[in-house]
């Protein structure tokens, strides 16, 4: 299996896991507070990752000075993304929040061009601009259907870009399981620090079961999201984020009886179409670069 195919498969697994986690967390959000959920779920996720890291001999890793800074940026991105996304998720339909996040492949491509100096032509830049227009169609600021919590979903996009580009910059000697463990510890710590200043609600068996299930999906999502950004080309792997929309619509309807309105579907179609076009242009550029090299080979 090539690096690109492996990265695409990991991205698809990551999206299915994260949306399943989101569904279970949203399910208990009416009974438990944000920081309470972060703390309880974080303890279980951290414990699971510690066990996995221990058996793989990757529990303690000595980081180079450069990787320490990159890891710090990654953790800031993860904490910001988690806080802003869950705030939006608790107050918006699952499919609507996920629809806004479909701008991520375009945002990551733009971020890679700006911060990692990856080559992005005018066609893909135009696709990114049109794609963000699709996001505005989903959010619809200034209309009666506008939900102010959509701004938190947009904010989470920016934080995820920071997280993913930082992951891309991590040295190859940093194990993916270690990066996932540090992420879980950081998010859990934020929850623990905030719990004393927020309301604590009784935790019943159904809520605990849902949180345990979300933990399983979260661990899978953490591991696969780290690994997918470290194999293959970003332009090839990133469009497979769109599989999250399929899961969000399906689970949103089956679990919450919610279905996105026509504007949300239209905006999602625009964003996805531009993301796929961006992917197509990257493949064309890749062929134009690689073909002459092969032609010059003896």
pLDDT tens profile 263-290:
888 888 888 888 778 777 766 766 666 5
pLDDT tens profile 221-246 = 878 877 886 777 766 777 787 888 88
| pLDDT-based confidence at residue 219 (cuts at 50, 70, 90) | confident
Q: Provide the domain count of the chain.
A: 1
What pLDDT, on the 0 to 100 scale, is given for residue 75? 94
Confidence grade of residue 39 (pLDDT, cut at 50, 70, 90) = very high
Please write the tens of the pLDDT for every residue from 248-270: 889 999 998 888 888 888 888 88
pLDDT in tens, 137-146: 887 765 555 5
Q: What is the dihedral of CA 7, 183, 22, 6, to 10 degrees?
A: 10
**What local confidence, expressed as pLDDT, does residue 98 receive?**
87
Domain that holds residue 255: 3-296
pLDDT at residue number 28:
93
| Integer Cα distance of 80 and 59 in angstroms | 25
């Amino acid at each position: 299996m090539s690096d690109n195919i492996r990265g695409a498969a990991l991205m698809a697994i990551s999206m299915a896991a994260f949306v399943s986690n989101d569904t279970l967390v949203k399910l208990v959000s009416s009974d438990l507070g944000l920081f309470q959920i972060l703390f309880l779920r974080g303890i279980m996720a951290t414990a699971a990752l510690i066990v996995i890291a221990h058996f793989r001999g990757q529990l303690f890793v000595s980081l180079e000075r450069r990787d320490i800074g990159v890891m710090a940026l990654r953790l800031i991105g993860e904490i910001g993304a988690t806080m802003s996304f869950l705030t939006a998720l608790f107050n918006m339909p699952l499919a609507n929040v996920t629809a806004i996040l479909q701008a991520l492949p375009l945002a990551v491509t733009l971020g890679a061009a700006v911060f990692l100096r990856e080559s992005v032509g005018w066609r893909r830049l135009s696709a990114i601009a049109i794609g963000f227009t699709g996001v505005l169609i989903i959010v619809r600021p200034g209309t009666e259907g506008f939900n102010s919590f959509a701004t938190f979903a947009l904010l989470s996009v920016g934080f995820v870009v920071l997280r993913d580009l930082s992951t891309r910059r991590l040295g190859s000697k940093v194990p993916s399981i270690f990066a996932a463990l540090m992420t879980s510890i950081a998010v859990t710590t934020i929850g623990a620090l905030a719990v004393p200043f927020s309301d604590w609600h009784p935790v019943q068996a159904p809520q605990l079961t849902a949180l345990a299930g979300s933990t399983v999906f979260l661990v899978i999502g953490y591991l696969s999201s780290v690994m997918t950004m470290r194999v293959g080309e970003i332009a090839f792997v990133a469009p497979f984020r769109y599989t999250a929309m399929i899961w969000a619509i399906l689970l949103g309807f089956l679990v919450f009886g919610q279905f996105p309105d026509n504007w949300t579907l239209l905006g999602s179609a625009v964003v996805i179409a531009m993301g796929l076009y961006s992917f197509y242009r990257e493949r064309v550029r890749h062929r134009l670069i690689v073909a002459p090299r092969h032609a010059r080979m003896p």
